[in-house]
Chain A
Amino acid sequence: MEKATGTVPSGVAIAFVGSGGAGALTTGNVLLEAACAAGLHGLLTRTLGPQIRGGEAAALLRLASHPVESAADRLDLLIGIDWVNAERFGAELKVGPGTLVIGDPEGTEPPPLVTASGARIMELPLTEMAKAVEGGRPNMIALGLAGRLMGLGLDQLTAAIGKFLSEKGAAAIAASCAGIEIGFSAAAGIEFGARLTLPEASESPRWLLSGNEATGLGALRGGIRFAAAYPITPATEILEWMAPNLTKVGGLLLQAEDELAAVNMIIGASYGGTPSLTATSGPGLSLMIEALGLATSAEVPIVIVDVMRGGPSTGIPTKSEQADLNIAVYGMHGDAPHLVLAPQSVGDCLFTTQWATYLAEALQAPAIVLSDQFMGQARASIERPADIAFVGKRAVAAAGSTPYKRYALAAGGVSPMAIPGTPGCQYTADGLTHTETGTPTSGAQHHLAQLDKRHDKLDGFDYGNHWATVEGSGEFAILTWGSLTGAAREACEQLAAEGIAARVISPRLLLPTRPGQMAKALEGVTRILVVEQTHGAQFHRYLRAHYDFPVRLQALNRPGPLPITAQEICRALKEGQ
């Protein structure tokens, strides 16, 4: 193992780029696995062209000695396995004077984003070097290079590729290991200041997973046993993870003919007593909105995960944005109180989806979970999450509770739900305005009574401290949500290092709003910066509509797909002074 020379507390940022089939994503994934196995933490995000096969791909990797939840504002190392179409990444590759760029002098020239950046460019004939090995590939040379520059040992890299290629056979593994070794040797003389210190002893047990996988597991932990869905980028991995795993726990995933069917299927299953979920992205959520109103009116618990991507319309399917906030909060016609939650990191996808399931079941209401492409498709190492106690449990009616009133105006607003099969409690669930027994009515008094019931059951519930992340106690507040929480947290740490005390407030529960708890979180604040990834400042407007603030809000909003970094947040806070 190399001895660490220059330790970097904020970690190292690396990118691999290449055209389709060049293996940039594989290289990033294997390096992440090797680094995590060596005790480091990491976050791998990916950015892709729209092509199904053959498009340009970049793996963006941050490694550090602590968990990583946000995008880097700079690259320490960029390896171009090739530079075909690399200019399409534009500002997503933050190349600068501090970046070491390694590329092959044969083949495509590096793009202007590299040549005009002031970066230190080093030429290595990756393709030629790979030819020394039968079946050798340039991306394995890149892996060996990057691994050594990070401070990883050769055995750690070859162990990781062996695991990754375990189903490809010994020959493929041997060829890859030989390629890694060539790259590893070639890195010996390269000056690179951002080397990491590898932790000495193994820490507490950790997991490496994607946000979408974490979402699937959270759903199952919360009690979900049925899912119906229509494939859509970037949510499909949730479904592909859940399909086999639901079967293992006695559940089922049904691929629906469209999103209209998917959401109605889960309403039907939940009506039958089975906690149910669908996962989609913006276009699918748009189609599901009518049925969300039905679930609200008929008081059927369901969970809808929206892994947000660039919008409107087809937008940018492969890249992230937070611009579905408005439709999630305001999308339904009529007054339709429902739950909207947002996970805050890869690991929090698990907790928030589990909590959303618990809340939906407890409150007999639909819950929308707003994940996004950034954390959904990112892979990150996390401390092994505790097995928390939130398992959905709805109030059900016992046989013969006569006269049974499905929509009884009970204290707290939650009325026991009769599960089909329960004798003596037959009722018809309805999207029409109904009486306490469920009989359709157009009477003003029934309409008001049921609107009050559905509002009160959500508003009066005790959501505890999970409603938001509130960290720090400085006079400055960074108010954000979703996957930007990690960047806000990192910004606070950087500001603290400069002697500026800031706090992060990031609501996990977006609906119903919690004005009392927000006011408490804001006590003593003199400046507030609202950070979000939308063009229309949706979060900013939502905050102003639902909360009172002691001071004027300052906005830092930008649409996707460029992530907002901790450094930008720090700059915006300082500039506003």
Chain B
Amino acid sequence: MTMPNAEPRPAAKASDYRSDVKPIWCPGCGDHHVLMAFTRAFAQLGLPREQIAVISGIGCSSRIPAYTNCYGFHGIHGRSLALAAGLKVTRPDLTVVVASGDGDGYSIGGNHFLHACRRNIDMTYVVMDNHIYGMTKGQPSPTTEPELDTAMSPGGTGLRPFHPLVVALASGANFVARCFSGNPNETAKVLAEAIQHPGFSFVEILSPCVTFRPDERKWKDLVHPAPVAATDDPGRAARRIMTDDGFNIGVLYRGDRIPFRPAGGASVPDLSELSAEFEI
């Protein structure tokens, strides 16, 4: 099913994309700024609100769809990429943005992450990474540092953190960027580019959890623009990311893989042709 494309409305304001639902996020949470970046990116692109679908799973970050004035789906834990894939391949006319967090996206949804990168469907995947489970009040996530002491892992997990950007590159993502929520203008620009880039775009946004990770307030002093321009070589991009300090901000990789081809037109006039093979 395809809806007729409405005319872009270039005069759009960021506030046009904000609903009147009040976020449940804590004061100071980075996700407030991510929401701001979302709406600014949509306005920048002049996208009709009804042509955008924001899809999410479960967690603090995943509450974002209802705070926008777009179509949204707040699904179940870890499965947002799959839900979005089904939507985009059948509705290629829509702009599909998936919002997730480090627990939802890298732990319970980890397998879908790999296959979404491989499949390279034309959509944008935004992970708000705060290195902690916030909604369940402070358990370690796949990106949590090994020594972080929590009630569920006293003395720390001792586990090596997951490296999402490198995994995305190895799995075939077509656009890879890292942003910091504290800079919503820069983040909006990257999001707008990610949305326009063909294929599967992955944007990891460092988004501090001031409640369970107050130490992350210092991220604003640690982040810095990536020292070199984005590459189109995934191997080079991966090596850079493996050896950087984790705070390089900006577009890190732009690929040119051909996106997944969505459903096409019918080639038979009606269904009776399909049953001809059954006739005795």
Smallest distance from the beta carbon of B112 to chain A beta carbons, Å?
Answer: 6
Contact present for A265 and B86 (CB under 8 Å): yes
Surface stretch bound by B, among A204-212, A305-313, A544-552: A204-212
Which one, B31-39, B44-52, B141-149, is touching chain A? Answer: B44-52
Bound-state CA distance A440–B55 (Å) is: 15
Q: Say yes or no for B267: interface residue by CB 8 A criterion.
A: yes
The residue that B278 contacts in the complex, of A209, A247, A258, A425, with Cβ under 8 A, is: A209
The chain B residue with its CB closest to the CB of A252 is: B263
The answer to whether B111 and A248 touch across the interface, beta carbons within 8 angstroms, is no
Query: In the complex, A257 Cα to B112 Cα: how many Å?
Result: 7
Within 8 A of A (CB), among B47-87: 48-51, 53-55, 63, 65-66, 69-76, 78-79, 81-87
> Which residue of A274, A291, A381 is within 8 Å of B79 (Cβ)?
A291
A:402-438 near B, CB below 8 Å: 418-432, 438
Q: Is B11 an interface residue (CB 8 A)?
A: no
B66: A residues at CB distance < 8 A: 428, 430, 438-440
A424–B51 CA distance with the chains assembled, in angstroms: 11
For B63, the chain A residues whose CB sits under 8 A away are 440
Q: Are A248 and B268 in contact (CB under 8 A)?
A: yes
Tell me whether A220 and B50 are in contact in the complex, defined as CB-CB below 8 angstroms, given that A265-B83, A268-B83 are known contacts.
no
Residues 9-31 (chain B) with a chain A CB within 8 angstroms: 21
With A and B bound together, what is the CA distance between A261 and B21 in angstroms? 29
- Across the interface, B71 reaches (CB within 8 A) one of A213, A267, A294, A426, namely A426
Whether B86 lies near A267 (C-beta < 8 A) is: yes
Query: Do residues B75 and A267 form an inter-chain contact, with CB atoms below 8 A?
Result: yes
Q: Are B86's CB and A254's CB within 8 A?
A: yes
Which of these, A248, A269, A428, contacts B86 with CB under 8 Å?
Answer: A269
Contact A254-B268, Cβ < 8 Å, known A421-B50, A429-B74? no
B94 near A252 with CB under 8 A, answer: no
Q: Mark A248-260, 1 if CB is under 8 A from B, else 0.
A: 1111101011101
B6 — which chain A residues lie within 8 A by C-beta?
Answer: 423
Q: Answer whether A264 and B86 are a contact pair too, CB < 8 Å, given A207-B275, A381-B280.
A: yes
With beta carbons under 8 angstroms apart, the residue of A257, A270, A421 that contacts B111 is A257
Closest approach, in angstroms, between the C-beta of A83 and any C-beta of chain B?
33
Whether the pair A205, B279 counts as a contact (CB closer than 8 A) is yes
Q: Is B90 within 8 A of A206, CB to CB? A: no
Q: How many angstroms from the CA of A293 to the CA of B66 in the assembled complex?
A: 20
A152 within 8 A of partner (CB): no
Q: Assess the B275–A252 pair: CB atoms within 8 A.
A: no
**Which residues does chain B contribute within 8 Å of A294, judged by CB atoms?**
75-76
Q: Which candidate, A8-16, A221-229, A450-458, is the interface stretch facing chain B?
A: A221-229
Residue of B1, B48, B86, B271 near A266 (CB, 8 A) is B86
Closest residue on chain B to residue A350 by CB atoms? B275
Most chain B CB atoms below 10 A, which of A256, A267, A268: A268
**Partner among B87, B112, B266, B274 whose Cβ is within 8 Å of the Cβ of A271:** B87
B229 at interface (Cβ–Cβ under 8 A)? no
Whether B271 contacts A254 by the Cβ 8 Å rule is: no
Which residues of chain B are near A252, meaning CB under 8 Å?
89-90, 262-263
Residues of B within 8 A of A261 (CB): 79, 81-82, 85, 111-112, 115
Interface presence of A36 (CB below 8 A): yes
Task: Check A264/B82 contact, CB under 8 A, given A419-B1, A421-B3, A426-B49.
Answer: yes
Contact A423 B86 (CB under 8 A): no
Q: A247-B264, A265-B85 are in contact. Are A421 and B72 (CB under 8 A)?
A: no
Residues of B within 8 A of A424 (CB): 50
Give the A interface residue count (CB, 8 A): 67
Is the Cβ of A271 less than 8 Å from the Cβ of B73? yes
How many B residues, CB 8 Å from partner?
A: 57
- Residues of B within 8 Å of A480, CB to CB, are none
Residues of B within 8 A of A298 (CB): 73, 75
Q: Which of A36, A220, A268 contacts B85 (CB 8 A)?
A: A268
Complex partner residue of B82 from A213, A220, A268, A438, CB under 8 angstroms = A268
On whether the beta carbons of A421 and B93 are closer than 8 Å, the reply is yes
> Would you call B189 an interface residue if the criterion is a C-beta within 8 Å of the partner chain's C-beta atoms?
no
Is A248 within 8 A of B278, CB to CB? no
Chain A neighbourhood of B115, CB < 8 A: 256-257, 261
Contact A269 B271 (CB under 8 A): no
Query: A264 and B79 in contact (CB under 8 A), knowing A248-B274, A249-B268, A254-B85?
Result: yes
Determine if A220 and B274 form an interchain contact, defined as CB atoms under 8 angstroms apart.
yes
Alpha-carbon distance A294/B73, docked complex (angstroms): 11
Identify which of residues 169-223 in chain A touch chain B, using a CB-to-CB cut-off of 8 Å. 205-209, 213, 217, 220-221
Does B50 lie within 8 Å of A422, measured CB to CB?
yes
- Chain B nearest CB: distance from A430 CB in Å? 5
CA–CA, A293 and B58, complex, Å? 14
CB-defined contacts of A256 to chain B, threshold 8 Å: 82, 115
Q: Is the CB of B75 within 8 A of A208?
A: no
The residue in B86, B88, B267, B275 that gathers the most chain A C-beta atoms within 10 A of its C-beta is: B86
Tell whether, in the assembled complex, residue A217 and residue B86 are in contact, meaning their CB atoms are under 8 Å apart: no
B274 and A206 contact, CB distance less than 8 A: no
Which residue of the partner chain, among A267, A422, A438, contacts B83 with CB atoms under 8 Å? A267
Min CB gap B53→A, angstroms: 5
**In whole Å, how far is B121's beta carbon from the nearest beta carbon of chain A?**
9
A220 near B271: Cβ-Cβ < 8 Å: yes
Question: Is the C-beta of A276 less than 8 angstroms from some C-beta in chain B?
Answer: yes
Shortest CB distance A205–B (Å)? 7
Say yes or no: is A329 at the interface (Cβ < 8 Å to chain B).
Answer: no
Pick from B81, B111, B265: contact of A250, CB under 8 Å: B265
Known: A248-B267, A420-B50. A273 touches B1 (CB 8 A): yes
Q: How far, in Å, is A375 (CB) from chain B's closest CB? A: 15
Report yes or no: A258 in contact with B48, Cβ–Cβ below 8 A.
Answer: no
The residue that A221 contacts in the complex, of B73, B271, B279, with Cβ under 8 A, is B271
A398 contacts B by Cβ under 8 Å:
no
* Distance, CA A397 to CA B125, complexed state (A): 29
Contact (A273, B71) CB under 8 Å given A37-B280, A217-B275: no
Residue from B21, B72, B91 in contact with A274 in the complex, judged by beta carbons closer than 8 Å:
B91
**Cα–Cα, bound, A265→B86 (Å):** 4
Please judge, given known A-B contacts A221-B271, A265-B82, whether A272 and B75 are in contact too, CB under 8 Å. no
Once the chains are docked, how many angstroms separate the CA of A406 from the CA of B91? Answer: 20
Give chain A nearest CB distance to B260 CB in angstroms. 9
- Residues on B lying within 8 angstroms of A by beta carbon are 1, 3-4, 6, 21, 48-51, 53-55, 63, 65-66, 69-76, 78-79, 81-91, 93-94, 111-112, 114-115, 262-268, 271-275, 278-280
Known: A272-B86, A426-B49, A439-B21. 14 other contacts (CB 8 A): A221-B271, A225-B263, A252-B262, A257-B112, A262-B82, A265-B82, A268-B82, A269-B89, A272-B94, A274-B1, A421-B3, A421-B94, A432-B74, A440-B74
Contact sample, A vs B, 24 pairs, CB 8 Å cutoff: A217-B271, A256-B115, A257-B114, A258-B111, A261-B115, A264-B75, A264-B79, A264-B83, A265-B86, A267-B75, A267-B83, A268-B55, A268-B83, A268-B86, A269-B89, A269-B90, A271-B87, A272-B86, A291-B75, A421-B50, A424-B50, A428-B72, A428-B74, A430-B73
* Closest A-B pairs by Cβ, 3 of them: A421-B3, A268-B86, A265-B86
Q: Which residues of A contact B (CB under 8 A)?
A: 33, 36-37, 205-209, 213, 217, 220-221, 225-226, 228, 245, 247-252, 254, 256-258, 260-262, 264-274, 276, 290-291, 293-294, 298, 381, 384, 387, 418-432, 438-440
